[in-house]
Amino acid sequence: MKLRSATLKVKNLEDSLNFYQEIVGLVVDRRYIDRPGVEIAFLGDGETKIELICMEDYKDINIGKDISLGFEVNSVDEKIKFIKEKGLDILSGPFQVNPELKYFYMLDPDGLKILFVETI
């Protein structure tokens, strides 16, 4: 069985699209109006997609404090530099718990923890 998608409800679709495209590096696979007041976008170029759902009347986003999405990067240090140049904050890290793995966390526009990890 393969993981097809992870669904995130977002407060502002444009802010979330900017974050996931510019900061994470994902591409929009498709975007559409599902019904009046509901817009959906899928991001990713592999088999697993991130689905963003924005509903006009749904402004209370509930993010679990122990949930994160992880993305592999070539260099944690370069990613941190890029993020800081954009004026964004690092939530925690970088950490290197063993010689082969380095990572850090930041928050997306709705407060979801985003993990960037480098395999050394």
Q: What is the pLDDT of residues 74-102, one digit of tens each?
A: 999 999 999 999 999 999 999 999 999 99
Q: Which residues does residue 115 pair with via DSSP β-bridges, in sequence order?
A: 70, 105
Q: pTM score, two decimals? A: 0.92
List of domains in the chain: 1-60 (3.10.180.10), 63-120 (3.30.720.110)
For the chain, the residue count is: 120
The stretch 20-33 carries a mean pLDDT of 96
pLDDT at residue 58, rounded to an integer: 79
What percentage of the chain carries pLDDT values higher than 70?
A: 100
Q: What does the alpha-carbon distance between residue 61 and residue 72 come to, in Å, rounded to a whole number?
A: 26
Q: Please tell me the distance from the alpha carbon of residue 30 to that of residue 55, in angstroms, as a whole number.
A: 17
